[in-house]
Amino acid sequence: MASVQAAAGEPMENGQKGQTGLDAADLQRRVERVLAMGAVAAGVAHDFNNLLVSILGFAALGRSVPAADDSTQRLRSYFAEIEQAGLRGHALVQQLTALVAEKPDRDSPSTLCALVTQVVADHAASLAVGVHVSIEIDDDLPALTIARTHVQRIVVNLCRNARDAMTGPGSVVFSARHVRLAAGETCSSCRQAIAGDFVCLSVRDQGPGIPAAIRQRVFEPFFTTRQAMGRMGLGLTAVHGLAHLNGGHVRIISPPDQGSELAVFLPVGL
């Protein structure tokens, strides 16, 4: 396994603190824990998929029973609901396994627009009352040569982060735009310079913002300020991991008391 890097690009020795405030040994243990969770998740996904096959099969048999009266018709509608829930679970299992196995797709702007729109629609009902959601996607976006599932999980986690940030009325804006960056911008998670052609996926919210004191820690596995809400602190860790897996970067823009913007820069496909 590659050595953990310090902020200046030098390998950290045990006991030396990095940008996260953790020494190399502690950070290495956390990385290994996340890798172990991934291995376990792959096995769980396989076994869970086998259960779903059985559920879907019996649900289909239940729906095939002829509707002799109102009670039978009602029973068939229950089987239909079970079948739809099973299909949604099957889709989630496919996403989980595809995070590792899926080959990159070359997504068009229309595909990206449809993906973002669907994810936002799926999460709109969970936003606080009075939150206005808007989507701004450039018409001339270049293609992304990145696994579609990776993009989807990035958008899902950005959406959930905005949901948790908005505890009252306000606005949330999802955007996708083509940007060309010269050296000068810095990634908020890996602290490296950002330069080149990217599609920038961003979410701006009018929540309380991210305090500067914890801004360097929000990408750590299991770090969360929302324990009371049952959050595990893996959402932004996933955003960081998927962005960097595909050669991208992440930036946090959060002026005091002015909400926050999380921007993910994904490299343009060649």
pLDDT in tens, 95-150: 666 555 555 555 555 677 888 888 888 877 777 778 888 889 888 888 777 877 78
Nearest to 172 by CA among 225, 104, 120, 229: 120
pLDDT in tens, 9-43: 344 444 444 444 556 676 666 666 666 666 666 66
Structural domains of the chain ordered from first start = 1-101 (1.10.287), 105-267 (3.30.565.10)
Please calculate the CA angle 107-113-117 and round it to the nearest 5 degrees: 135
Q: Is the pLDDT of residue 189 over 70?
A: yes
152-179 mean pLDDT:
86
- Read off the pTM: 0.63
Q: What is the pLDDT of residue 68?
A: 66
DSSP 83-130: HHHHHHHHHHHHHHHHHHHPPPEEE-HHHHHHHHHHHHHHHHTTSPTT
Q: What is the pLDDT of residue 36?
A: 60
Phi then psi for 107, rounded to 5 degrees? -85, 135
* Helices 24-63, 70-101: crossing angle, 10 deg rounding: 150
Nearest to 26 by CA among 203, 258, 222, 186: 222
213-219 mean pLDDT:
81
